[in-house]
Amino acid sequence: MSGRENILARIRAHAAAGEDEPARAARVEAHLGAHARGTVPARGQQDKAGRIALLRQILEGQSASVRELDALGAVPAEIADYLRRHNLAPRLGMGDDAALAGLDWGGANLELRHGRANAELESACSMAFAAVAESGTLVLTSGPDNPTSLNFMPDNHIIVLRADQVMGSYEDGWDALRAAFADGPPRTVNYVSGPSRTGDIEQTILLGAHGPRRLHVIIVK
Amino acid sequence: MHADTRHFRQAAGKALIDGQLQKALGNVKRGFIAKRAKARDALPEFDRLRDEARDIKIHTLAHLDLYLSRFEDKVKAAGGQVHWAETEAEAREAVLEICRAAGAKTVTKGKSMITEEIGLNAFLEQSELKVVETDLGEYLVQIRGETPSHIIAPAVHLNKEQIEHDFRERHKDLPPERQLSDPVQLVAEARQVLRQAFISADVGITGANFLIAETGQTVIVTNEGNGDLTQTLPKVHIVMASIEKAVPTLEDASTLIRVLARSATGQEISTYTTFSAGPRREGDPDGPQEFHVVLLDNGRSSVLGGPFQDMLRCIRCGACLNHCPIYQHVGGHAYGSVYPGPMGSVLTPLLQGVQEAAHLPYACTLCGRCEAVCPERIALPDMLRRWRARDFAAKPPLAGAKPALKLWAALAACPRAYQLVTGAAIRLLALLGGRKGRIGRLPLMGAWTKHRDLPAPQGQSFLAQWKAGRRK
């Protein structure tokens, strides 16, 4: 027998000795299919305004900055302003996301660099798939639209999301993901809940361990 | 596992008089414990979530074969490969084979206790591979030639002065005038050095906090983002995971994520939680070209169905270490095992054999704090007691222990004799205590009274007071 068969046989013998195999299989299928939720914290079950307020509050508590805008068209100017405020070059990495591609970046005097991140890229912008208010989390999905390396390589990461993408709980986020990706989840789903940090030196929290030192979140109404 | 657990007593003695270590351990109490308490208080549903987290694991372990099979199917469907390893050696070989097939020279690693368990770094280095740990704490212990002293904070035993010293010694191109006394400067230095490692690595190895059967996703949580750079940039990503990491659905994982970071670091959630399914897809501009999962058993399947099964619920948050009065005083290295603290003292005898790890279950006061904070509600003190009972039964009986216990049993079965004898003993001890009320030395109990006085009994026994109507 192979290692695989040995391991599975031992598990069966020890964990489920004498149990009816078809009944077990049925129980497992039922569990996998039900997507039953456990307790969802009350804070994750609020109306839209409450969700956005909570998302913002937790993100800011985690040293991210948050800006709310009325229209997507205002995003390039806000990003140009953000880069200026932090004395950063007006250059921005991004993928092929259609919502971002349709904006007037040239009008804000921003130079774009498309595709995956490289070592020189200082600032990048991604469109979030969703956000989860209960923990102040942005949900990003991999692919040509928003390459994963943009989330981790640059020093400054700017994430844009629409207000109606702010979910209350992780579970609401998974339901939205299942609806959007019928054939199974994308290669990578990233939960991002602030700029990179470490507590490995004397338990002092310091930002920018390996990933972005700054995280700026733009919520568009 | 290669660490030596047989010298706990000596190692603990040394640790207690190590000023540097004691200073560093002071951070554990101030940091982790207060932060967990704050996170718990901020979430009214926390204790209910702990119950649910426990139930999810109980259900999963009862059907672990089926959930692992489903996980494997889904990984394959996403274009990944699954390798099953019964032993440490098989797991090491599986990783090496993947590295060789990829023509790899350098490997970066995210934090993974399983790779510590199987001694992966030393093995790969013997095979001429360059291995770089990328979690800051892991990197620090790697350049010092040490092992992690905590399962989530590997360098918790170090102070910033030691780190500065190590960087100056190890990072050869560091100009001597460069300031490194501030932790901010230390982090910047590590970031720069490790960025190069990320970019040049051929293979990235991470662990997994969860394996999701429903989707075939592997999940890692980090605060630094090092795990993500480790798995996104090289052409091969290897996930090392032990079989009990499986959970059925994303909903189940969500419940576990809610208790994990709160128990570990007191965060609502770790900064980065990453769900990975297979290699780079068509059109993807980044991500690994190969995705491998190595599933390690290493004795775990035989623990199922037995008295230590509940240990397989452990999600490695480290709360039991942080809250353990023994760990707080001696740190992780004194245990001599890969997994220190209460969870390590239960797990190590299972992985390594009780003979090798016999000291560990005694490194415990049975105070119960570990069980009180465990997000999976694992009865760690009960299991430690069970190991002690096994160890006691396996040892040759202590001279005189058997007749003494028989005498005690006979007394306990006869209330009148029991009260007579204990009453006499109380009077004798009170006499020995004298006016101070403390006994400094007792015959046959020298080891106990060497470090503390025995308070002398005050007055009568509880039963005598009850009879006299003074207790109700």
Assess whether pLDDT exceeds 90 at residue B121.
yes
Assess whether pLDDT exceeds 80 at residue B86.
yes
Are the Cβ atoms of B27 and A203 closer than 8 angstroms?
A: yes
Domain that holds residue B460: 402-467
What is the average pLDDT across B123-138? Answer: 97
CA distance B237 to B234: 7
Assess whether pLDDT exceeds 80 at residue A40.
yes
The pLDDT tens digits of the residues spanning A4-21 come to 999 999 999 998 777 899
Of the residues B29, B157, B223, the best mutation for testing chain A's interface (the one with the most A CB atoms within 10 Å of its CB) is: B223
Assess whether pLDDT exceeds 70 at residue B84.
yes
- Give the pLDDT of residue B50: 98
Of the residues B272, B293, B311, B322, the best mutation for testing chain A's interface (the one with the most A CB atoms within 10 Å of its CB) is: B272
- Give the pLDDT of residue A17: 75
Residues B329 and B454 in one domain: no
The long-range contacts involving B16-25, CB below 8 angstroms and separated by at least 24 positions, are B16/B329, B16/B330, B20/B159, B20/B162, B21/B157, B21/B331, B23/B159, B24/A202, B24/B156, B24/B157, B24/B158, B24/B159, B24/B331, B25/B156, B25/B157, B25/B328, B25/B329, B25/B331
- Kindly report the average pLDDT of chain A as a whole number: 96
Residues B193 and B286 in one domain: yes
* pLDDT bucket at B9, cuts 50 / 70 / 90: confident
Residue B306 lies in a domain: no
Chain B residues within an 8 Å CB radius of A191: 269, 272-275
The pLDDT tens digits of the residues spanning A113-143 come to 999 999 999 999 999 999 999 999 999 999 9
- Give the pLDDT of residue B5: 67
- Give the pLDDT of residue B459: 78
At B374 the three-state DSSP class reads: coil
User: Searching chain B, which residue's CA lies closest to the CA of residue A26?
Assistant: B66
What is the average pLDDT across B171-181? Answer: 89
Residue B315 lies in a domain: no
What is the average pLDDT across A24-46? Answer: 97
Residues B69 and B148 in one domain: yes
**CATH code of the domain containing B127:** 3.40.50.10420
CA distance B70 to B27: 43
User: How big is the CA angle at B72 (ends B67 and B77), to the nearest 5 degrees?
Assistant: 125
Give the CATH architecture of domain A42-220: 3-Layer(aba) Sandwich (3.40)
* Among B270, B301, B332, residue at a domain's last position: B301
Both tokens of B17, joined, read 């008089």
Close Cβ partners of B375 (under 8 Å, ≥ 6 residues apart):
B50, B53, B259, B260, B262, B263, B315, B317, B319
Chain B residues within an 8 Å CB radius of A186: 277, 281
Closest C-alpha to B354, from B401, B382, B386: B386
The values of phi and psi at residue B82, to 5°, are -120, 130
Assess whether pLDDT exceeds 60 at residue B377.
yes
At B242 the three-state DSSP class reads: strand
ipTM higher than the 0.90 cut: yes
Which of A3, A134, A200 is closest, CB to CB, to B140? A200
Assess whether pLDDT exceeds 80 at residue B2.
no
The pLDDT tens digits of the residues spanning B412-444 come to 999 889 988 888 988 888 888 888 888 888 877
CA distance B319 to B341: 10
Q: How many domains does chain B have?
A: 3
- Give the pLDDT of residue B469: 84
- Give the pLDDT of residue B443: 76
The pLDDT tens digits of the residues spanning B27-68 come to 888 889 999 999 999 999 999 999 999 999 999 999 999 999
User: Searching chain B, which residue's CA lies closest to the CA of residue A39?
Assistant: B49
The pLDDT tens digits of the residues spanning B142-160 come to 999 999 999 999 999 999 9
Other C-beta atoms closer than 10 Å to the C-beta of B470 total 11
At B207 the three-state DSSP class reads: coil
Which residues belong to CATH 3.40.50.10420 in chain A?
42-220
Residues B82 and B221 in one domain: yes
* pLDDT bucket at A82, cuts 50 / 70 / 90: very high
- Give the pLDDT of residue B128: 96
- Kindly report the average pLDDT of chain B as a whole number: 93
Assess whether pLDDT exceeds 50 at residue B332.
yes
The pLDDT tens digits of the residues spanning B449-461 come to 887 888 888 878 8
Residue B242 lies in a domain: yes
| Percent of chain B scoring above 70 in pLDDT | 99
* Among B344, B376, B395, residue at a domain's last position: B395
Task: Say which DSSP state B292 is in.
Answer: E
Assess whether pLDDT exceeds 70 at residue B1.
no
Residue B312 lies in a domain: no
